Amino acid sequence: MEWMDGGSITTPEGFLAAGVACGIKASERKDLALIVSELPCVAAATFTTNKVKAAHIIVCRENLRPQKATVRAIVVNSGNANCCTGGQGVEDARRMCEMAAHELSTQRGLNIQPHEVLVASTGVIGVRLPMDKVEQGITMAVAHLSRQGGREAAEAIMTTDTKPKFAAVRLELFGKVIHIGGIAKGAGMIAPNMATMLCFIGTDACIGRKALQSALRYAVERSFNSITVDGDTSTNDTVVLMANWMAGGSEIAEGSDAFLRFREALTSLCQRLAKMIAADGEGATKLVEICVTGAESERDAKAVALTVANSLLVKTALFGNDPNWGRIAAAVGRAPARVKSETLTIRLGEFECFRRGEPVPFDEAAAHEWLKASREITLHIDLGIGAASWTVWTCDLSTEYVRFNAEYTT
């Protein structure tokens, strides 16, 4: 597996994309993205577990439901979440699919049906989409589609992200080079009214729907489901993976060696995009990796890592470069997992602070300096109970986060 510099959703064969500004955002920044595959794709997707779901999720599920459903395009707007917009919101999301299918057919001569288009939204909750602007945006985006449009599309799905997020990998399977490339946005649900993690991934690999969904579930669990900025699960979270088979070669059968290599590459790609999201958390000054080992189960390890990652006291201490391991111990203790104080060991980077239930003297001034100098830090938590482990990524919590989320007024 090899990383491809500047790679994105348009790196795999046959994928086109565009990002345009159509006035949904007051800022005049890009706010509508379109991703299209030249050939029909097998698709897999995961959506938010929030019980209040955005309209686009209802429509995506409808379009993915038929066993033999193929996907040709994804249309995405930023600046408006189309969530808590009632029945009208669902109509608007369906209309976006129809508009995209119509424009792709008339402008590009592609025979695409509305049910072959997926849709996603991110932005303010509870406000209707300005459908006239959306329609203009779709017309423009179809005109701008290109094999180099991945980065523009990554910009058009941003809300309060400070950087576009894109990446691609290549690997050889069955003597053919296959590519997996994606774009992502969001930072947990940290932005003011802008509440979404979105990720769109394309591949030219030959892989069936069931295997694709299985690989995606595995990768998402270890990447996007293992980051947190503020613990607020968005109503709009969406990851879509499309495979158009254009690389050629044999089909990647679930469970085969080729499948495991494909899944590993996909997981690496998702982790890279997920870490970009955590590092770009609103007001963040540090990317924080939390490695939990010695747990009875992966479930326990993940529960401990996420509880520490969401602790305000841990996050504010890290912002202050304070090696305050007592706050980590307290967060570990309240995690919904099997944990014992007597077997617990805590290390901040190279500084061991607590070993199997007893405090360990360490150089606090040096630990403070290390925290101050580091943009990426790792916390090691060994539960001393079993052999399972999990890693989670988060960021620190700064005054800037609060200011940003408080000073915004609807």
Give the contacts of 149 (CB within 8 A, at least 6 positions apart): 10, 16, 17, 18, 19
Counting residues that bind its own copies (by CB under 8 A) gives 71
Nearer to its own copies, 53 or 95 (CB): 53
Which of 122, 139, 196, 345 is catalytic? The answer is: 196
Q: Indicate whether 131 belongs to the interface with its own copies (CB under 8 A).
A: no
Nearer to its own copies, 132 or 369 (CB): 369
To the nearest whole angstrom, how small is the minimum distance from the Cβ of residue 357 to its own copies?
6
Region binding its own copies by CB under 8 A among candidate stretches 60-68, 108-116, 218-226, 336-344 = 336-344
The encoded tokens of residue 155 equal 């910009």
Within 341-400, the residues that bind its own copies by CB under 8 A are 341, 344, 353-354, 357-359, 364, 368, 397-399
Is residue 153 classed exposed, middle or buried when 0-12, 13-18 and 19+ CB atoms within 10 A define those classes?
buried
Q: Indicate whether 256 belongs to the interface with its own copies (CB under 8 A).
A: no
Q: DSSP states of 147-192 as a string?
A: TTTHHHHHHHT-SS-SS-EEEEEEEEETTEEEEEEEEEE-BTB-SS
Secondary structure (3-state) at 110: coil
Within 77-96, the residues that bind its own copies by CB under 8 A are 81, 83-87
The encoded tokens of residue 4 equal 């491809």
Known catalytic residue at 196: yes
Within 224-253, the residues that bind its own copies by CB under 8 A are 230-235
The encoded tokens of residue 339 equal 């944990």
Within 194-213, the residues that bind its own copies by CB under 8 A are 195
Instruction: Give the whole-angstrom CA distance, residue 48 versus residue 31.
Output: 21
Within 46-75, the residues that bind its own copies by CB under 8 A are 49-53
Q: DSSP states of 254-293 as a string?
A: TTSHHHHHHHHHHHHHHHHHHHHHHHT-TT---EEEEEEE
Nearer to its own copies, 10 or 307 (CB): 307
Nearer to its own copies, 49 or 67 (CB): 49
The encoded tokens of residue 154 equal 């990554």
Which listed residue (324, 351, 377, 392) binds its own copies by CB under 8 A?
Answer: 324
Q: Which residues participate in catalysis according to the annotation?
A: 196
